[in-house]
Structure 1
């Protein structure tokens, strides 16, 4: 894990989900996945958007040509742990596809306009993932 992520995770946990810097005043969660190959636990800070009872996360990786490792982890092992504020809970991660993805992508890019720039940098379709609490 990068030092940058480690610092955000530590700050998030020390302050009940509040952080400064890039994520200050933005909705942030910690996603813990099981490694697709390693089977080890990995935690990643991510911005999110609410969609009813679901949380929506985006596998943009700043528009890189490949999906982030955490995306491959949830495809292999969709049972995840979410930290939101000072709460921790088990959840299921599901890749959103088809018409539902198209509609949600429009909403997501309205809320996070930078994602349109990320999509323009890559030929892959940036995945949207729904997090559903158990």
Structure 2
């Protein structure tokens, strides 16, 4: 067993690498007109969706690709900012304007976002723990609690 394998603290790539991969992923999604870059969750893997929010300062549309798990009709994401400090912009936007749109492999849907609390948070955190075995270790890298964001279906306004 190597030293890296014997420690329980997870390792996160450098911030420049994480940001570069996010940019490449968004670019791939854009140049393939959405044919590549999204996936459904299967077995013990999370899916990927594209979330479109309303900017809290500009009022313009802002898009981001996020990991998610399913909880019945709801989609559950973690506001973890690549496990770095601070809240991700998409979560700040949703707190200001909770109505959003998600693109999935099988189409788009309108959603309403909220942060899971109490027993619901514990339950959906456990769903995430099933697909990310070191979830608690990653969360411990942050000084603040990671918001568990539920995207529930809504009717278009």
Aligned structure 1 segments of 4 or more residues deviating by more than 6 angstroms: none
Unpaired runs of at least 5, structure 2: 1-18, 40-44
- Number of corresponding residues: 129
| Structure 1 residue 54: Cα displacement | 0.5
1:15 shift after superposition: 3.9
Instruction: Determine which structure has greater relative contact order: mean sequence separation of CA pairs < 8 Å that are 6+ residues apart, divided by chain length.
Output: 1
Show structure 1 runs of 5+ residues with no match. Answer: 19-24
CA distance in 1, matches of 2:117, 2:33: 31
Mapped partners of 1:108, 1:8: distance in 2: 26
Aligned mates of 1:95, 1:58 — CA distance in 2: 10
Shift of residue 83, structure 1, vs aligned partner: 0.1
Match of 1:79 among 80, 99, 105: 99
TM-superposed CA distance for 1:117, in Å, is 2.9
Of 56, 67, 78, the match for 1:36: 56
CA shift at 1:99, angstroms?
Answer: 1.9
Contact 1:60-1:115 at 8 Å conserved across structures:
no
2: distance between equivalents of 1:36 and 1:47? 22
TM-score w.r.t. length of structure 2: 0.72
* TM-score normalised over the length of structure 1: 0.83
Distance in structure 1 (CA, Å) of the matches to 2:106 and 2:148: 24
| Residue aligning to 1:51 | 71
Aligned alpha-carbon RMSD (Å) = 2.4
Secondary structure of the corresponding residue to residue 6 of structure 1? helix
In our comparison, the structure showing a higher alpha carbon Rg is 2
Contact map agreement 2:69 2:75 (CA 8 A) in 1: yes
Q: Give the corresponding residue for 2:112.
A: 92
Residue matched to 1:22: none
Moved more, 80-89 or 106-115: 106-115
Are the equivalent residues in 2 in contact too, given 1:61–1:68 (CA < 8 A)? yes
